[in-house]
Amino acid sequence: MKRLYPDVTRYDDGFIDVGNGHSLYFEQSGNPDGIPVLFIHGGPGAGLPPNYKSFFDSNKYRIIGYEQRGCGRSTPLADTNNNDTWLNVDDIDTLRSHLSIPEFLLFGGSWGSTLALLYALKYTAHVSGLILRGVFLARQQDREWFLSPHGCAAQLFPEHYRKFTKDIPPPLSANAVCEYYSAVLKSNNDVLKHAALRRWYQWEERLSRLSLPPGVGDAHCHYPMHLVTCLATLECHFLSNKCFIPENYIIDNIDKIAHIPGTIIHGRYDMICKTEAAETLHKAWRQSQLQIVPDAGHSTSEPSIGYALCRATRDMSRFLKEQTQ
């Protein structure tokens, strides 16, 4: 399948109060009587991408998108108070209950794959299947891959890593990066804070795709400040706290979802999330299928990733239909 599905207009949207001062934005599109699928965005802090509905056949799917605590249209923006992994997992179930959905397919990419897996582990009975892209298992080695000078990202993009870490005193490590950025982002110096936010965002952006358009990821490229603030602040917050889950938690508990079907899509040259993580998950999860996309990195904006995701949703809709017959 070498195309995306047509984008569609939402038929419903609103906000849901999840407590602790947080209100989450959600929207629905597609077929109200179709297979319920929840799109779980990445980051933490990325918000809903503009084309996320194009991975689904809107005649077959009831497409639900939402923005996590502190993200996008959810309020308050970029707030780290009362914002941890398990609260975000519980928010998914609050949304499910609000929409009166007995069970749904989870579609998560990057950090969204982490939340999808954790939700499935905790609320197994409410999950019909999973489609995951750019798997992030939130282990120490996954954080090192993205932030450490010894990680693959820093090794392949040394000039960009040098800019990302230019004010951090040696010795450099993933923990040192998190400690530095956490301190600066909590400071009262707005000049330093804004510069740090942009450097973090530029590092993420530069790694996200195998091939970037001219200027993207460069220091002079303009990014909307609310996007920069949200992504950098929340990524730093979660990574600084080891994503609020024990080491290797997902793999250690994967037998809880051994019966749930899943498809894993991962770009071979993903510089943000290790391809090894997708392989490790696949080996541990008996009902999973793995496709390593040979000519892609991390982002859904890369054509081969998008096409693979469309095939996955098409095949999953057929499988789920057969299961109900």
pLDDT of residue 15: 98
Q: Is 35 exposed, middle or buried (0-12, 13-18, 19+ CB in 10 A)?
A: buried
226 is catalytic: no
Whether 48 and 42 have beta carbons less than 8 Å apart is answered as no
Q: What average pLDDT does the segment 268-295 reach? A: 97
Of the candidates 74, 110, 113, 128, the residue annotated as catalytic is 110
Domain boundaries defined on the chain:
12-137+245-324, 140-243
pLDDT of residue 239: 97
Of the candidates 41, 160, 266, 298, the residue annotated as catalytic is 298
pLDDT of residue 224: 83
pLDDT of residue 216: 52
Q: What is the pLDDT of residues 69-119, one digit of tens each?
A: 999 999 999 999 999 999 999 999 999 999 999 999 999 999 999 999 999
Of the candidates 29, 160, 270, 317, the residue annotated as catalytic is 270
pLDDT of residue 297 exceeding 60, the answer is: yes
CA dist 147 and 130 (Å) reads 28
Cα 208 to its chain centre, rounded Å, is: 12
pLDDT of residue 85: 98
Q: Which residue in this structure is represented by tokens 């398990």?
A: 86
160 is catalytic: no
Whether 300 and 109 have beta carbons less than 8 Å apart is answered as yes
Q: What is the pLDDT of residues 27-79, one digit of tens each?
A: 999 999 999 999 999 999 999 999 999 999 999 999 999 999 999 999 999 99
The enclosing H or E element of 40 equals strand 35-40
110 is catalytic: yes
Residues sharing a CB contact under 8 Å with residue 206, sequence separation 6 or more, in sequence order: 157, 160, 212, 216, 217
Give 320's pLDDT tier (boundaries 50, 70, 90).
very high
CA dist 152 and 298 (Å) reads 14
pLDDT of residue 214: 53
Please give the class, per CATH, of domain 12-137+245-324.
Answer: alpha beta
Q: What is the pLDDT of residues 217-238, one digit of tens each?
A: 455 556 788 899 999 999 999 9
Q: What average pLDDT does the segment 157-185 reach? A: 95
Q: What is the pLDDT of residues 3-24, one digit of tens each?
A: 899 999 999 999 999 999 999 9
